[in-house]
A and B are shown apart, each in its own frame.
Chain A
């Protein structure tokens, strides 16, 4: 083969290899759940209302793994979006409302039954303030919303799985679906990326329950992206 031929073969192979690498990075490594921005919806300094729901399975309309349990968030436009990366302003009060549709169980570590880091160290469970929830009672705890580095922990009480109108697949928007509504407030600290997670091992089918959705950002864990 001539010099020009060899040169073009080598350049061609190099382009193919580089293209493959770029495709692998851009297609498989870089993609992350989208960030929902709550910083611009209201005037600076005023409290931010954050509404999320937890469901037993995400279904086929929202994500890659239809059987996985997941959080969903209501974006400022009022739609349910499947992402766990939420951008909020710093030093601002966040009024968190969680619609919990999933059944519960006793907690692996009852330490997470204690509400911590919220204003008054309580959560408002269906209208009643609760400082500690016994996960061995009633229907147990379905999930928790916890930001470990900020010391915030909010247990999300489970619903009765034998009730008639249980919603087990997202989006649970029907008003008649049985749910627990938990409200709590906390104040965001200075700017930073704060990981949050659930402390109930709810990854069905995975050892210790902590695989799958528990180990994938976008389902049962994410970031609170606090910006100034």
Chain B
């Protein structure tokens, strides 16, 4: 059987392919203009406002990262869209006087184009990889959770550790350098390098301090460390970012970055005010082993470890 594939008739074939170089140049020209215009628009209009802001070193760095990635991605996307729009307008079947398409080997492969494409995409992609890695290394992990053995650590001499304890369904914060008191409020000093030690007492949660650009999963019995250096005072929104059950959606709280003196005043005052309760808390540790049974009888049988040893968080060993 024969399929009509639009063979060029002799009349159409005499039409010289004089438009051939113009298509690519036209597209490149349109692309260049649009890419430059939109990149500049983005850089100047949107750039300073790119989330998550620049309240901390991690936030500023992630803001820059996103901006740079976007400035690279935008020309790529504009390139493809310009090409597609151009083809739809110029090379559509309903356009009067459009030359017939030409098949054959030259339409099936073009080594130059193929190699050029592969090389270009590889170069861009590997460049992005190098860029991302450098940013991670240079910025002490960029605010992401590095697990219990972080390898990119901040260079400053004093680091304030803050432990974030996640439980269903609230974050609480312990300050080991202030006697280990536990607070429901996250207050941190400005101009300081903070190490967040995130752990969980039950299921997996995720500590996401938006303006600080810190995101670290909270796992049971694991200390997940994330670093950043605060640069501006302001309020912080903390949300749980890993589905953890019924009240995951309302597991959020507000914190604040305050001046160093204000922080010291707050920390010492809270330490004094909660001293009675701090004595009752278990000794500070980087991870805790909670009683997975909950209150008297849970999922596993009662007489299985760890319900009878002294690492139960918040409880003395069971007598029986």
Contacts and interface: CB of A to CB of B under 8 A. Distances in A.
Decide whether A and B are members of one complex.
yes
A221 to B, nearest CB: 6
Contact of A106 (B182, B201, B203, B316): B316
A208 B292 CA distance: 4
B169 to A, nearest CB: 6
A29 interface: no
Contacts of B247: 148, 195, 197, 221
A89 interface: no
19 contacts: A106-B314, A108-B315, A109-B172, A109-B201, A110-B282, A132-B280, A135-B315, A136-B315, A149-B250, A149-B252, A195-B250, A197-B169, A200-B294, A204-B294, A206-B294, A208-B168, A210-B202, A214-B246, A217-B246
Interface string B265-287: 00000000010110011100000
A216 B280 contact: no
B172 A111 contact: yes
Interface residues of A, number: 42
Interface stretch (B112-120, B187-195, B295-303): B295-303
Interface in A182-228: 195, 197, 199-210, 214-217, 221
Given A202-B295, A209-B294, 12 more contacts: A108-B167, A108-B313, A109-B314, A110-B277, A110-B282, A110-B314, A149-B253, A203-B294, A207-B298, A208-B168, A208-B299, A221-B246
Nearest to B313: A108
Contacts of A131: 276
B52 interface: no
B183 to A, nearest CB: 8
Contacts of B226: none
A103 interface: yes
Contact of B297 (A104, A132, A205, A208): A205
A207 B244 CA distance: 13
B314 A201 contact: no
Contacts of A149: 250, 252-253
